[in-house]
Amino acid sequence: MKRFFKALSVFLFVMCIPIYSAVIYGVSELPDEISIGESEEIDFGNICFEEKREPVKSASTGFGKTEYESRIMALKVVPVKDIKVNITKRRFVSPGGDVFGIKLYTKGVIVVSIDSVTTSSGTADPAVTAGIKCGDIITTINSVAATSSQQMTDAVESSDGNPLHLRIDRNGEIIDIYLTPVMSVNGKFKAGLWVRDSSAGIGTVTFYDDSSGMFAGLGHGVCDVDTGKIMPLNNGEAVRAKVNGFYKSSAGNPGELCGVFSDVALGSLRVNHEMGVYGRLLQPSGTKVMPVALESEIRLGKAQMITTIDDSGPQYYDIEITKIYPSSDLSARNMIIKVTDPVLLEKTGGIVQGMSGSPIVQNSMLVGAVTHVFVNSPDQGYAIFAQRMLETMDTVKSSELAKAS
């Protein structure tokens, strides 16, 4: 009898191992949220999970999306995790790959550096004394909207040493500050501030959406080179650009596309967002559309990216998707990719600056866009989900419609 119970215990223990393993794997690896297309089921691959829709709580969330709560079961009997399931209509866009020029003008002026001022009696730090910090956005000067760095310079030099009332946006918090300029040794009033009101550069268009008349690019926001913060957009323009060369990437030294702006306007920039820049097209792209992959449809393995490195225009190059992060991660770094194409590796060393926004295609669907290069390993980089960019564009479009009404 003892042998029987001992054998039974061993048998039950062995039987429990796959159950415990499935539960542990499910809790750690299954996302908190997943998207599927209409009339589609959740695909767990070869893993023994199944969906149990009880209780089903459905709700419309806009942008052609419906969501419900679902319980994931292991081996049909063991509850593992409750997740939110988004049912999304299939969307189609035209992949880009074209290099474009960005002309961005800020909403307010950004403080990029603070210096001491040399006066006849020594050095002074009026900006520090006032409590100004690098990265602050000056939105008004004496109740007048701040629109340019020259406006700030003129206000300081004409102050006669009287305090200037500045309204500042510091990480979303609005602060009122009084800045008192001092007379410098050169006979002009100074504040010890360096500010910036615009930026320019090149990137790559990710996709065109002719149905809405919009486009998206970069996959990440345009950041100030000194503060690293996303520049607040007042207005901007996107123009066609031509690649006239590049600096090859190497370990520790990311390369860069060299391009020149053309006089041909692509459209107007409407939003500078952490998930890319978005704008209005002046005219439809007229190019062939491609389905946008849901996050749940993206797989590890072979893919291609579309990018431009010379005057031959957008070309397809082989890559691999080596890592996919959970969809609950709200950053723009949703995947890790590796360039495997020998031609691109030979020419550019992998990913170079300016390729940000290059579309990534897998199984004839747009799955994402390149966002960052690994400095010490330029054949690798981060990418964002295309679905994430499309949803951001929908939000921009919805916001514009709300303002128009």
Q: How far is CA 369 from the centre of its chain?
A: 9
Average the pLDDT over 226-246 and give the result.
86
Q: How confident is the model at residue 126, as a pLDDT? A: 92
Q: How confident is the model at residue 205, as a pLDDT? A: 95
Q: How confident is the model at residue 247, as a pLDDT? A: 85
Given a cut of 60, whether residue 298 has pLDDT beyond it is yes
Q: How confident is the model at residue 14, as a pLDDT? A: 55
From the list 97, 91, 96, the residue with the least C-alpha distance to 293 is: 91
The amino acid at 139: T
Q: How confident is the model at residue 57, as a pLDDT? A: 47
d(CA 54, CA 213): 40
Q: How confident is the model at residue 252, as a pLDDT? A: 85
Q: How confident is the model at residue 46, as a pLDDT? A: 47
- Range(s) of the chain covered by CATH 2.40.10.120: 203-400
- Range(s) of the chain covered by CATH 2.30.42.10: 116-191
Q: How confident is the model at residue 378, as a pLDDT? A: 93
Given a cut of 80, whether residue 47 has pLDDT beyond it is no
- Annotation: CATH topology of 116-191: Pdz3 Domain (2.30.42)
How many CB atoms within 10 Å of residue 40?
14
Task: Pick 355 or 30 by higher pLDDT.
Answer: 355
Q: How confident is the model at residue 120, as a pLDDT? A: 86
Burial of 67 (0-12, 13-18, 19+ CB in 10 A): middle
Given a cut of 80, whether residue 71 has pLDDT beyond it is no
Quote the mean pLDDT of the chain.
82
% residues pLDDT > 90 (the chain)? 46
Give strand pairing partners of 374: 377
- Whole-number Cα distances in Å, 15 to 20, 49, 120, 329: 9, 17, 85, 34
How many CB atoms within 10 Å of residue 191?
28
Q: How confident is the model at residue 249, as a pLDDT? A: 87
Could you tell me the maximum CA-CA distance found in the chain, to the nearest angstrom?
104
Given a cut of 80, whether residue 190 has pLDDT beyond it is yes
| Tokens 């939003």 -> residue | 271
- Range(s) of the chain covered by CATH 2.60.40: 2-89
Catalytic residues: 220, 341, 356
Give residue 73's pLDDT band: very low, low, confident or very high (50, 70, 90): low
- Annotation: CATH topology of 2-89: Immunoglobulin-like (2.60.40)
From the list 42, 97, 98, 95, the residue with the least C-alpha distance to 364 is: 95
Q: How confident is the model at residue 100, as a pLDDT? A: 93
The helix/strand/coil state of 354 is coil
Average the pLDDT over 268-288 and give the result.
90
d(CA 361, CA 320): 11
Q: How confident is the model at residue 58, as a pLDDT? A: 46
d(CA 182, CA 119): 8
Task: Pick 65 or 127 by higher pLDDT.
Answer: 127
Give residue 258's pLDDT band: very low, low, confident or very high (50, 70, 90): confident
Instruction: CATH number for 203-400: choose from 2.40.110.20, 1.10.3720.10, 3.40.50.300, 2.40.10.120.
Output: 2.40.10.120
Q: What is the pLDDT of residues 322-359, one digit of tens each?
A: 999 876 555 678 999 999 999 999 999 999 999 999 99
How many CB atoms within 10 Å of residue 16?
10
Is 215:287 a contact under the CB 8 Å cutoff?
A: no
Given a cut of 60, whether residue 118 has pLDDT beyond it is yes
Q: Which residues lie below 8 Å from residue 334, measured CB to CB, with a gap of 6+?
A: 295, 324, 325, 327, 368, 382, 383, 384, 385, 388
Average the pLDDT over 290-319 and give the result.
93
Is 68:51 a contact under the CB 8 Å cutoff?
A: no
Phi and psi at 98, nearest 5°, equal -80, 140
Give residue 53's pLDDT band: very low, low, confident or very high (50, 70, 90): low
Average the pLDDT over 368-388 and give the result.
93
In the chain, DSSP finds a helix count (H) and a strand count (E) of: 5, 27
How many CB atoms within 10 Å of residue 204?
27
Q: What is the pLDDT of residues 167-185, one digit of tens each?
A: 999 988 999 999 999 999 8
Of 139-143, 198-202, 276-280, 306-310, which range is least confident? 198-202
Given a cut of 60, whether residue 5 has pLDDT beyond it is no
Q: How confident is the model at residue 200, as a pLDDT? A: 86
Give residue 153's pLDDT band: very low, low, confident or very high (50, 70, 90): very high
Question: Which token pair is 399?
Answer: 């916001």
Average the pLDDT over 126-150 and give the result.
92
Is 236:273 a contact under the CB 8 Å cutoff?
A: no
Given a cut of 80, whether residue 72 has pLDDT beyond it is no
Given a cut of 60, whether residue 283 has pLDDT beyond it is yes
**Beta pairing class for 78-88 and 33-37:** parallel
d(CA 351, CA 372): 8
Average the pLDDT over 183-193 and give the result.
90
Q: How confident is the model at residue 245, as a pLDDT? A: 86
